[in-house]
Amino acid sequence: MKQILSIALLSISSFVVAQNKPTVAAKQSLPKAPVKSVVAATKTSVTDAHKHTRAVNVEMIKTGLQVYIWHWDDNQLSKAKEGDQVALHARLFGNDGKTMINDFGFLNGVPVQRQNFGFMYEGILKMAPGDSAVFSVSTDSMFGKQMPPFAKTGEKVNYSFVMYTKEAAQKMVDEKKKMHATTDEKKLKEYFAAHNITPTKTAEGMYYVITQKGNGEIPQTGNEVVVNYSGKLLDGTAFDSNVDTAFHHVQPFKFKLNTHQVIQGWDIGFSHLSKGTKATLYVPSCLAYCDQPQPGSKIKPNDILIFEVELVDINVPLDPSKQFDKYFAENHIKAEKTPEGLYYVITQQGTGDKPKVGQSVVANYTGKLLDGKKFDSNMEEEFHHVQPFSFALGQHMVISGWDIGFALLNKGAKATLYIPSNLAYGENGQGPIPANAPLIFDVELVDIK
């Protein structure tokens, strides 16, 4: 039940090939040749941010893509860069520039990456929020020998884009959510009336019914919750479950509350349940997957979801800064602490310089967990790599605790590093190292190169 936090990667060329029947609708006229004079662009119905005065960046890119961009003279916003997340409206038109093949609609949070835009990538990099554009490319360059039904050899296809400002995009998102919230509210009230259900409504517009009250605590933000669930649509169609063997994953599901790991409706719903509680959650579409359901799912765009859930357990993560408190007290250790939260004890002073960022550090080490179990060493035969270990300091080649710890030592020094989990392998763990495990390393800085 992981949430689609932004739209699935947009590979427009793959969308195009998938179209079988063109939809004819004369929406706008697209240019077929470079524009020399002033051309008025089509205004959008949502915002006036895309009324433009002239065409700029009209050129042929080396890939064969012709780019026409309409741009406000006073638009000072930066052009899109690799890795930016942009909001677009995209349409595909045929050779005549009037027959619309597909309307991809409003696409919010699309990462600017070559694999998402294919032929259009270089053109997208020439756009700034507030711009409109037409990208024209030959069908032969776009499709090669795999020509889709709507295209012919020797013709062109034309993509129309509007790149929204953040303000305009947010306005569209808010308008869409408001519209769906009204529709969903009506559907849910009809469903409740037909099934004689009296639910509790949250401030966000979600409903729930407690079917079995638990006697534990209510989870807090950041707590790991362990849950069982079964999901269905309003018409009763089951789409997922971790208690029904038909869905092939019968084990408790875990996630951190209010950290965007699941749909918003789950974060809201489980925030109202105590440990041991069973409940039914009624999740409006835009607190679930809105119009971007998971690919291959039985969930359709704008579907309301119903979940039968149980809050099995709550795991409260230990503050990394306190992971060594008990260990130090029991073993009478007085360690120094760095601003980052690393603890260390110098067991043998060195005589050389301290390493600088980028220098190669040669080290010996033995690592163990708090219970004393060793998990790695380049000093002991059982780990099968008895030779000094080298790494470049401060280049993220090792865990953060090592970069911090070895910067404190001079050549020849020996020390014990006490590394909290957030400066080691965190919640993922690594091999024999469990998730959220603090680590202890006995180390020696043998040389600096």
| Active-site choice (184, 441, 442, 448) | 441
Residue 376 designated active-site: yes
Residue 425 designated active-site: yes
Rounded CA-CA distance 8/17 in Å is 17
Within 13 Å and on the Cβ side, how many CA atoms surround 422? Answer: 12
Rounded CA-CA distance 29/204 in Å is 42
DSSP secondary structure string, 360-425?
EEEEEEEEE-TTS-EEEESSSGGGS--S-EEEETTTTSS-HHHHHHHTTPPTT-EEEEEE-GGGTT
- In the three-class reduction of DSSP (H, G, I as helix; E, B as strand; rest coil), residue 50 is classed as helix
The residue whose two tokens read 């996630």 is: 255
- The pair phi, psi for residue 418, each rounded to 5°, is -110, 105
Residue 371 designated active-site: no
| Active-site choice (12, 268, 399, 419) | 399
CB 253 within 8 A of CB 1: yes
Please choose, from the candidates 296, 328, 342, 340, the residue with its C-alpha nearest in 3D space to the C-alpha of residue 443: 342
> Which residues are paired to 311 by β-bridges?
227
Provide the greatest CA pair distance for the chain: 82
| Active-site choice (184, 240, 376, 442) | 376
| Active-site choice (143, 327, 375, 383) | 375
Rounded CA-CA distance 3/97 in Å is 37
Rounded CA-CA distance 447/361 in Å is 6
Residue 365 designated active-site: yes
In this structure, which amino acid lies at residue 96? D
Q: Give the number of other CB atoms < 10 A from CB of residue 329.
A: 9
- In the three-class reduction of DSSP (H, G, I as helix; E, B as strand; rest coil), residue 29 is classed as coil
Residue 291 designated active-site: no
In this structure, which amino acid lies at residue 352? G
- In the three-class reduction of DSSP (H, G, I as helix; E, B as strand; rest coil), residue 181 is classed as helix
Tokens of 63: 């890939």
Parallel/antiparallel/unpaired status of strands 100-111 and 66-71: unpaired
| Active-site choice (106, 207, 239, 365) | 365
In this structure, which amino acid lies at residue 356? K
Residue 375 designated active-site: yes
| Active-site choice (425, 433, 442, 448) | 425
Catalytic residues: 365, 375-376, 399, 425, 441
